[in-house]
C-alpha cells in the first residue's frame, strides 16, 4: 500500500521544461535505511551501471511497502509531483506548501494535469531558483537540478550510503588520473543505442583489418595534397572508419559511448546515423581545405564524435562532467568544458607547431562540432512538435489557457 495513494491515470503531457519528451511514471520505494530508490514494474530496485539503468536484483521485500510514483522527463530529469508526493519524499520538510514563500509570479510552463499556467514560488534556504506550482491541483514541478538540490537538502533519495558514494567517487578519480578523460555525472541512457553499438563494432572491425593487412590504411585515408591533385574525394568518407592506433580508437570509442547514447535517443536511430556520417564528411572536408599539412594522412572518427559533442552541448548544456585538474576532481558544466575544448582546437589548428600539433586533425574536429551545433536545434524543434502532437497536454499553451479535459487530482 502506498503512503501516497493516487489514481492510476497516467499523465499524458509534454515535459513543461525541455519539451523533448513526454512525462513517464517512475516508482520510488523506501529502502530499509529510509532512503528512496527507483523500482521497476516488478518491484526490483533499479541501479545505474556504466550509465545504464538496470535491475539490481533486490526484490519487493526490501521496499517496506512505502512507494511513491512521480512523473519524470527522461531527458532533462525534471519531475512532476502531485499534491502530497513531495511531502512524502522530502523527509525533513514534512509539508512543502508550508515552506513555500507566499509571493507568487506567473510561470511560462503549463500544469501537466491540464490546469493552465503554473506559478513560481521560492523554497527559501533550500533552492535558489523558484519552483513551479499549480494553484488548482497543488502539484509541483522541479527541474532536474532542483531535484538534486532538494534531495541533498532533505534525503539521500536512494543514492547509497556516504561510504558507497565516496568509494565510487574515488574509483572514478583514480581512472581519470590515469586517462584524463571526462566522466558524465548523471545522464543515464534511455533505451538501447543500437546505432552507437553498431558503429563501435564497425570501427573495431575495420581497425583489426588495418592491423592484419586487408585494409591499406594509406590508400583509404584522406591525404589533402593527394585529394587536390588526384581528386580521390571518396576518401572523405572512408577515412572516418580508420584509426592510427589503439589509443586513437579507444579514445573515440569512449566519447561515442558516453555521449552518443543520449544524442541517439533524442535524434532517433536513422537520423542519428545520418547526422554522424554528415559530421564526419564535413569535418574531413574542413581539414582538407584548411590544413597546411597537405601530405599528412587524415583518418579517424573524431569529426563524427565532435559532431556528437556539439549536439550533446546543445541538448544538455547544464549536464556536468567530472574532470581531474591538477589531481583535483571537479564538476564542470558541459558548456564550460566544450568552450575550453573549442578554444584549444582553434589555437592548435591555426598556431600549433611540433609533432603533437601536426598529428591531430584539428579542423576536422571543429568542422564536425559546427555540424552538431547547426543541425541539433532543427532536430530538437522537430522532436518538440512530434511530442506535442502525441500527448494530451502540450507544453506550449496560450496565456491563461485551460486544456479541455477533466481535472485529475491526487487522493
Instruction: Answer whether residue 348 is part of any domain.
Output: yes
Asked whether residue 155 falls in the same domain as residue 195, the answer is: no
Q: Of 130, 159, 188, which marks where a domain is finished? A: 159
Question: What pLDDT score was predicted for residue 372?
Answer: 96
144 CB neighbour count, 10 Å cutoff:
21
pLDDT score for 303: 93
Q: Is residue 6 part of a domain?
A: no
- In a domain? residue 241: yes
Q: Both 340 and 209 in a single domain?
A: yes
pLDDT at 84: 84
Contact 321, 309 (CB under 8 A): no
Return averaged pLDDT per consecutive 10 residues of the chain, 411 residues in all. Answer: 46 92 87 72 57 47 66 89 82 70 87 91 80 91 78 49 63 73 75 93 95 88 90 92 92 92 93 96 93 87 94 88 79 85 79 58 91 95 94 76 41 34
What pLDDT, on the 0 to 100 scale, is given for residue 380? 94
Q: What is the pLDDT of residue 398?
A: 57
Which residues contact residue 142 at a Cβ distance below 8 angstroms, ignoring those fewer than 6 apart?
78, 79, 81, 86, 131, 150
Sort 373 into a burial class: Cβ within 10 Å, 0-12 / 13-18 / 19+: middle
What is 277-306 written as a DSSP string? HHHHHHHHHHHHHH-S-TTS-B-SSHHHHH
State whether 234 and 294 are in the same domain.
yes
Cross-strand pairs, 24: 72
Q: Helix (H, G, I), strand (E, B), or coil: what is residue 275?
A: helix
* CATH code, domain carrying 270: 1.20.1540.10
Q: Are residues 122 and 195 in the same domain?
A: no
Could you tell me the pTM of the whole model?
Answer: 0.80
Same domain, 172 and 247: yes
170 & 111 share domain: no
Count of structural domains within the chain: 2
346 belongs to a structural domain: yes
pLDDT of residue 373: 94
Asked whether residue 149 falls in the same domain as residue 218, the answer is: no
Residues 228, 353, single domain; the answer is yes
**DSSP 3-state assignment of 376?**
helix
Domain span including residue 67: 24-159
Shared-domain flag, residues 85 and 104 = yes
Same-domain pairing of 239 and 216: yes
Give pLDDT, residue 47: 56
H or E element in which residue 223 lies: none
Question: What pLDDT is attached to residue 69?
Answer: 87
pLDDT of residue 56: 46
Looking at the structure, tell me whether residues 285 and 150 fall in a common domain.
no
Q: Is residue 122 part of a domain?
A: yes
Amino acid at each position: 500500500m502506498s503512503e501516497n495513494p493516487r489514481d492510476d491515470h497516467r499523465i499524458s503531457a509534454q515535459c513543461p521544461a525541455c519539451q523533448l519528451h513526454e512525462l513517464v511514471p517512475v516508482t520510488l520505494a523506501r529502502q530499509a535505511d529510509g532512503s528512496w530508490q527507483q523500482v521497476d514494474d516488478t518491484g526490483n530496485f533499479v541501479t545505474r551501471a556504466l550509465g545504464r539503468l538496470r535491475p539490481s536484483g533486490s526484490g519487493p521485500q526490501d521496499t517496506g511497502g512505502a512507494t511513491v510514483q512521480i512523473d519524470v522527463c527522461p531527458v532533462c530529469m525534471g519531475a512532476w509531483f502531485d499534491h502530497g508526493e513531495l511531502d512524502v519524499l522530502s523527509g525533513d520538510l514534512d509539508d512543502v506548501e508550508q515552506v513555500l514563500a507566499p509571493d507568487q509570479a506567473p510561470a511560462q510552463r503549463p500544469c501537466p494535469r491540464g490546469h493552465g499556467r503554473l506559478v513560481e514560488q521560492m523554497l527559501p534556504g533550500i533552492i535558489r531558483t523558484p519552483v513551479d506550482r499549480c494553484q488548482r491541483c497543488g502539484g509541483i514541478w522541479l527541474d532536474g537540478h532542483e531535484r538534486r538540490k532538494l534531495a541533498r537538502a532533505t534525503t539521500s533519495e536512494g543514492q547509497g550510503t556516504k561510504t558507497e558514494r565516496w568509494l565510487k567517487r574515488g574509483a572514478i578519480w583514480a581512472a581519470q588520473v590515469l586517462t584524463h578523460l571526462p566522466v558524465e555525472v548523471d545522464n543515464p541512457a534511455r533505451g538501447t543505442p543500437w546505432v552507437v553499438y553498431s558503429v563501435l563494432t564497425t570501427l573495431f572491425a575495420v581497425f583489426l583489418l588495418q592491423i592484419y593487412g586487408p585494409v591499406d590504411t594509406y590508400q583509404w585515408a584522406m591525404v589533402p595534397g593527394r585529394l587536390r591533385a588526384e581528386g580521390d574525394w571518396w576518401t572523405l568518407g572512408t577515412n572516418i572508419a580508420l584509426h592510427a592506433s589503439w589509443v586513437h580508437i579507444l579514445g573515440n570509442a569512449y566519447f561515442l559511448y558516453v555521449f552518443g547514447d543520449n544524442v541517439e535517443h533524442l535524434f532517433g536511430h536513422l537520423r542519428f546515423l545520418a547526422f554522424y556520417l554528415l559530421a564526419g564528411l564535413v569535418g574531413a572536408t574542413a581539414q582538407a581545405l584548411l590544413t597546411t599539412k597537405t601530405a599528412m594522412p587524415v583518418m579517424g572518427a573524431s569529426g563524427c564524435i565532435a559532431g556528437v559533442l556539439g549536439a550533446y552541448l546543445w541538448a544538455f548544456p547544464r549536464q556536468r562532467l567530472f574532470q581531474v585538474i591538477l589531481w583535483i576532481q571537479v564538476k564542470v558544466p558541459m558548456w564550460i568544458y566544450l568552450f575550453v575544448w573549442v578554444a584549444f582546437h582553434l589555437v592548435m589548428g591555426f598556431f600549433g607547431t611540433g609533432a603533437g600539433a601536426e598529428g591531430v586533425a584539428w579542423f576536422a574536429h571543429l568542422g564536425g562540432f559546427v555540424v552538431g551545433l547547426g543541425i541539433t536545434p532543427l532536430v530538437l524543434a522537430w522532436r518538440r512538435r512530434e511530442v506535442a502532437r502525441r500527448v494530451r497536454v502540450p507544453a506550449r499553451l496560450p496565456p491563461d489557457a485551460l486544456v479541455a479535459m477533466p481535472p485529475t487530482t491526487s487522493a
